[in-house]
A and B are shown apart, each in its own frame.
Chain A
Amino acid sequence: MYSRLLARLLSWTLRLDVAINRVYPEDFNPLYYTGGLSNLFLTVLVLSGIFLFLYYIPSFNDAYASVQFITLQVPYGQIIRGVHRYSADAFMIAILLHFFRNWFTDRFRFSRDEPWISGMMLLLFSGFLGVTGYVLVWDERSQLLVAMTGRTLAAVPGVGGWLQSMWQGSSGISNLLLPRMLYLHVGLAVLLYILLWWHYVRIRHPKVWPPAVWTLFSLGLIFLLTGLVPTLSQPPAHPESVPRTLTVDWFFLLPYVGLTVLSPLVLIALAVVITVYGLYIPYELPETPAALGIRDSGIAQVVDANCTGCELCYYDCPYNAIVMAPSPHPGVTKAAQARKLLAIVLESRCVECGICIGACPFEALELPRLLERDVQEQVVAACRA
């Protein structure tokens, strides 16, 4: 039933694409660039964040005032603050779209689990970064977030108290909180880029930027929103009294809404289950092509005699599954005699797509169960018919 649901979701995703492609030229379809859009928003976040960082003061007395100073005194400070705020939401939307699209279209199969696992971690860290960012403003919402997070962490059996003091810097709210949050916000943003390296490392030519139309559209929408719905702080935090109401940002603070109906322990259990399941997704369904009902052509094989070491397959393999090694001996054909390099297929990374076969002009690569000869026989048969 589960796999039938996924098949249905795949079908809906692709039908949506057909609809979008009727409106937009197909290489402008924004859903083909969810990863690039995420990267665009991350870049905007970093640039606007550097600006905000220059003015921010991480102490109880000055944090709120410094944010107000940015908003009201610094020229265009409110615009930059709004850009930071709205591009964070857009970032979350984009990575969730990226997540669901790649899930529904099966783009985590075989050797593609590494982008998936690193992507899950990117998702978790992005949510965490959003929460720490909301704390930095140090208004009533920040105070409530700190209190709710602390209470939730304290509910973990065994290590709860320790976790809470790790989060807050001490057992109660102390002056260490805001410097700690500032570091977690800015320092973990660096970790985001390390995870992005992991996200890209097994991928050749990642699409890291959306088409110009969507770059301009996204930036324009963010700026327009900033002008129309200016970002403002809640009333300042008062350590003596914890406020009762939470102004919700639905993209980052959804778990905190859940806290109003679920007990902290249930929420934590739910989060752990969702996270573990997300990490387990690529390994869940049967992994063999036969079980998936797709063609099983076998791992690409290099024909030693024909390989000229030209590196074309190495450049085109989408998963970096081909490496060029110094050739131990010359090839047999004339073109291969003077080769210095020999292509080698790393079997664990090969997804049997055959793109290297199309790349090779020297007939030096074959899919074992779909040889060039087989294709040519089919072509000849088709021409006879």
Chain B
Amino acid sequence: MPGVDRPASAPAGTGTAPAAPAGRPPRIVGFLCDFAVDVSAFTAANGTLRDLPHVTLIKVPCSGFVRPAWLEFALRNGAEGAFVCGCPLGDCFNRLGNNLIGDRVVQLRRRFERQRIHPDRIAAIYYGLHDHEGFLGAVRAFSDRVAALPGPVVPAPRAAAARPAAAAAPARPAAPPGAASPSASPSAGSRAESGPGERADGAAPEEEP
């Protein structure tokens, strides 16, 4: 079982550092394989989950169909988290799609660290046709974790590049954590957040920031 659905070891969404504005849950885009978990009974017409209306699901023919660039595209277009859900590992209808997207998400998380986007904003989870309980639990845990992440989703690239690195560090604490302020750089803060205590996400456990 992926550790995603074990909130025991994951930081509680409201407990540690609620950086998102209180009350507004994070906007999350999920790519859902046609053959994976069947949530048609829990989904509204526009693809949002009934229980979690801030989560929108986009159906794709296979989790391997998802280009990792689309996860980044979602983050750069206003989503605060993006995940892919495929069939359980080893049970992909098309044999390999979920393993492939799992590897690609791991690679993308590594790239996000270099780009100072918090890697926990993306995840790959795996739930089969009838495991909607596990799926909803995992999405809820993911949503809570994303809600706890500080800072803007995507650091403003030009501001970060233009400013000397030494000057960047002391300026940050003044920035309001939840606001999408164009000049605030979350790099050091988000790295500290993703320390060993938090590595229970199960989506990409072998990499360590």
Contact = CB atoms under 8 A, between A and B. Distances in A.
B67 interface: yes
A14 B129 contact: yes
B64 to A, nearest CB: 4
A382 B73 CA distance: 12
Contacts of B74: 379, 382-383
B62 A29 contact: no
A32 interface: yes
Contacts of A27: 89-90
Please classify how large the interface on chain B is, using the bins under 10, 10 to 19, 20 to 34, 35 or more: 35 or more
B90 A379 contact: no
B77 A380 contact: yes
A313 to B, nearest CB: 11
Interface residues of A, number: 47
A57 B151 CA distance: 79
Contact of A352 (B61, B68, B129, B130): B61
A324 interface: no
B78 to A, nearest CB: 4
A383 B76 CA distance: 10
Contact of A382 (B79, B95, B128, B130): B79
Interface in A134-165: none
Interface in B54-80: 56, 58-62, 64-70, 73-74, 77-79
B209 interface: no
A130 B61 CA distance: 41
Interface stretch (B13-21, B96-104, B169-177): B96-104
Interface stretch (A16-24, A60-68, A87-95, A222-230): A16-24
A101 to B, nearest CB: 10
B65 A357 contact: yes
Contacts of A376: 70, 73
B48 interface: yes
Contact of B61 (A11, A22, A295, A360): A295
A359 B67 CA distance: 7
B126 A383 contact: no
Contact of A357 (B34, B67, B78): B67
Contact of A385 (B46, B61, B66, B73): B46
Interface string A360-377: 110000010010100110
A205 B78 CA distance: 37
Contacts of B39: none
B64 A358 contact: yes
B47 interface: yes
A25 B1 contact: yes
A11 B128 CA distance: 11
User: Of residues A107, A297, A372, A379, which shows the largest number of chain B Cβ atoms within 10 Å of its Cβ?
Assistant: A379
A358 B104 contact: yes
B77 A353 contact: no
A358 B1 contact: no
B109 interface: no
Contacts of B134: 18
A52 to B, nearest CB: 34
Nearest to B34: A295
Given A27-B90, A29-B88, A376-B73, A383 B78 contact: yes
Contact of A14 (B46, B77, B130): B130
Contacts of A382: 27, 29, 47, 56, 58, 74, 79
B85 to A, nearest CB: 13
B78 A384 contact: yes
B61 A383 contact: no
B113 interface: no
A370 B90 contact: no
B1 A318 contact: no
A354 interface: yes
A204 B130 contact: no
B94 interface: yes
A32 B99 CA distance: 13
Given A18-B128, A107-B93, A294-B34, 16 more contacts: A22-B1, A27-B89, A32-B90, A203-B95, A205-B95, A205-B96, A316-B100, A353-B61, A354-B62, A354-B64, A355-B62, A358-B100, A360-B67, A375-B58, A379-B74, A384-B78
Interface of B: 1-2, 27, 29, 34, 46-48, 56, 58-62, 64-70, 73-74, 77-79, 88-91, 93-97, 100-101, 104, 126, 128-131, 134
Q: Give 5 nearest A-B pairs by CB, closest first.
A: A354-B65, A32-B90, A382-B56, A383-B78, A355-B64
11 contacts: A17-B91, A26-B88, A316-B96, A353-B62, A355-B97, A359-B64, A382-B29, A382-B58, A383-B27, A383-B77, A385-B46
Interface of A: 11, 14-15, 17-18, 21-22, 25-27, 29, 32-33, 105-107, 203-205, 207, 294-295, 297, 316, 318, 351-355, 357-361, 367, 370, 372, 375-376, 378-380, 382-385
